């Protein structure tokens, strides 16, 4: 197995373990067992579990599918935004709301514990907000959204609300928080 294959296996296993459990509940041995590689291989690729966590956050943010949905010029901007949130919500509903979002999970668990991961999360929040703001600005330009609030502020509010809805959906094991989010996002905010 090549060095890059081993690294990718560790990242995939880390993502799986950390999403299913939590950062503090998973050890390096759990990750390497899931990856099917010796524990020493982990340290050939990552200085620490914290470094792997930061890498996972970066990978999570570099989601091409999310970006393709948001930037598809053949679909009106509000429809792109709706599809974006519906797609993400469907993934969590498919897991019966037992899995969370790395962004929300790590924010709650690690923001005060790891400066490295907090900085990675800040970059991800900024990137995702920027992607949402671009679509909202486009909708404002073509008149689909009359709300004159800065697109970046609306995007931040939507992302904050969505992450809150996701946390509550996990607690309630229900899609009702997503439905409320969509109702208010598209019926009150994006008008």
- What residue segments make up the domains of the chain, in order of their start? 3-46, 62-189
Residue 80: closest CA among 26, 23, 144: 144
Domains 3-46 and 62-189 belong to one CATH topology: no
- C-alpha–C-alpha distance, residues 47 and 96, integer Å: 34
The CA distance from 116 to 89, in Å, is 28
pLDDT, position 96: 73
DSSP classification of residue 44: H
**pLDDT by residue for the chain (191 residues), tens digit each?**
566 799 999 999 999 998 888 899 999 999 999 999 999 999 999 999 999 999 999 988 877 777 889 999 999 999 999 999 999 898 888 877 777 778 888 999 999 999 999 999 999 999 999 999 999 999 999 999 998 999 999 999 999 999 999 989 989 999 999 999 999 999 999 99
Assigned CATH for 3-46: 1.10.10.60
What is the pTM (predicted TM-score) of this model?
0.89
Q: What is the DSSP letter of 130?
A: H
Question: Which CATH number does 62-189 carry?
Answer: 1.10.357.10
Residue that is written with structure tokens 């800040």 in the block:
122
C-alpha to C-alpha distance for 59 and 82, rounded to whole angstroms: 23
pLDDT digits (tens, 9 = 90+) for 27-83: 999 999 999 999 999 999 999 999 999 999 998 887 777 788 999 999 999 999 999
What is the distance between the alpha carbons of residues 132 and 97, in angstroms, rounded to a whole number? 24
Residue from 108, 130, 123 nearest 56 by CA: 123
């Amino acid at each position: 197995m090549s060095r890059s294959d081993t690294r990718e296996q560790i990242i995939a296993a880390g993502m799986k373990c950390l999403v299913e459990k939590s950062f503090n509940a998973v050890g390096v041995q759990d990750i390497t067992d899931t990856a099917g590689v010796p524990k020493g291989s982990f340290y050939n690729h990552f200085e620490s579990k914290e470094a792997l966590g930061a890498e996972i956050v970066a990978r999570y943010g570099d989601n091409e599918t999310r970006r393709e949905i948001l930037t598809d010029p053949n679909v009106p901007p509000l429809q792109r935004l709706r599809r974006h949130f519906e797609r993400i919500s469907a993934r969590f509903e498919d897991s019966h709301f037992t899995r969370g979002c790395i962004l929300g999970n790590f924010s709650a668990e690690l923001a005060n514990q790891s400066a490295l991961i907090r900085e990675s999360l800040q970059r991800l929040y900024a990137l995702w907000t920027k992607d949402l703001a671009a679509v909202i600005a486009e909708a404002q330009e073509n008149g689909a959204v009359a709300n004159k609030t800065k697109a970046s502020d609306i995007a931040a509010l939507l992302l904050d609300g969505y992450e809150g809805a996701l946390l509550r959906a996990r607690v309630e094991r229900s899609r009702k928080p997503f439905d409320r989010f969509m109702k208010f996002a598209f019926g009150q905010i994006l008008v």
